[in-house]
Amino acid sequence: MNQSVEFRAFSFALAIASACLLLAGGFSAVHGRPSPKPDASTSKAAFLQVYSVLTSPRCQNCHPAGDAPLQGDDSHVHIQNVKRGPDGHGVSAMRCNACHQDRNLSGAHMPPGNPKWGIPAPDHKMVFVGRSPAALCRQLKDSKQNGGRSLEQLFDHVAHDDVVGWGWNPGDGRSLPPLSREETANAMRTWIAGGAACPE
């Protein structure tokens, strides 16, 4: 009788242990184990991917070194003597929305559009043109140069802001960035998760 009770107790304990293992395994299968934090070298490599997008014409044309936006796949200075202006939306009668509407006009090389069309204001120009990977990386992290954004806000800007999204829907006759928007956001997330390390 005692052996029978002991056997039933052992069986019950074994069943409980097995159930716990199955639950733990099921949880891992559904939710996955957290991936290890990227190291500095992985972070730097991810930034180089982001850099290839930021220095493509679709991004750098709106982040010029001077006060005139650039245009075209060759990044030439905008015709009509367009200037940045005090708010990044042009000057006088040459405001951006004089030609750039709230959407792309149909046809190859026709004026592109977005309701927020413009370039950064002069107090935080966020220059991409001519910046080395290391210099651009440092600039992006500097809140005095990036419009006071945190790294998370920068990520949100790249991943979700509709005017940035225009770069992947630029209208006929314009090349796309080298990575998709999702790939760019993923690379940026890896860069940030690894400590936002900058290339040498």
Residues 77 and 172 occupy one common structural domain: yes
Query: What is the DSSP-derived secondary structure letter of residue 34?
Result: P
User: Quick check: is 9 in a domain?
Assistant: yes
Residues 14 and 47 occupy one common structural domain: no
Residues 108 and 21 occupy one common structural domain: no
User: Quick check: is 86 in a domain?
Assistant: yes
The number of distinct structural domains making up the chain is 2
Letter string b/e over residues 43-79, b meaning 16 or more CB atoms within 10 A of that residue's CB? bbbbbebbbbbbbbbbbbbbbbeeebbbbeeeeeebe
Residues 23 and 41 occupy one common structural domain: no
Sequence-distant (6+) residues with CB within 8 A of 68 are 77, 78, 81, 82, 83, 84
User: Quick check: is 199 in a domain?
Assistant: no
* Whole-number Å distance between alpha carbons of 43 and 30: 27
* Whole-number Å distance between alpha carbons of 111 and 96: 10
What's residue 93's pLDDT? 87
The tens digit of pLDDT for each residue in 98-143 reads 999 999 999 999 999 999 999 999 998 999 999 999 999 999 999 9
| Residue 195 clears pLDDT 50, i.e. is over it | yes
| Residue 24 clears pLDDT 60, i.e. is over it | no
User: Quick check: is 158 in a domain?
Assistant: yes
Q: Band of the pLDDT at 36, cuts 50, 70, 90? A: confident
* Average pLDDT of the residues of the chain: 87
The tens digit of pLDDT for each residue in 133-185 reads 999 999 999 999 998 999 999 999 999 999 999 999 999 999 999 999 999 99
Range 69-95 average pLDDT = 95
pTM for this one? 0.81
Residues 73 and 5 occupy one common structural domain: no
User: Quick check: is 200 in a domain?
Assistant: no
Residues 131 and 55 occupy one common structural domain: yes
Sequence-distant (6+) residues with CB within 8 A of 164 are 157, 158
Residues 117 and 43 occupy one common structural domain: yes
Structural contact between residues 156 and 162, judged by C-beta atoms closer than 8 angstroms: no
The tens digit of pLDDT for each residue in 1-12 reads 444 444 344 344
User: Quick check: is 52 in a domain?
Assistant: yes
Q: Give residue 78's domain range.
A: 37-193
Residues 29 and 41 occupy one common structural domain: no
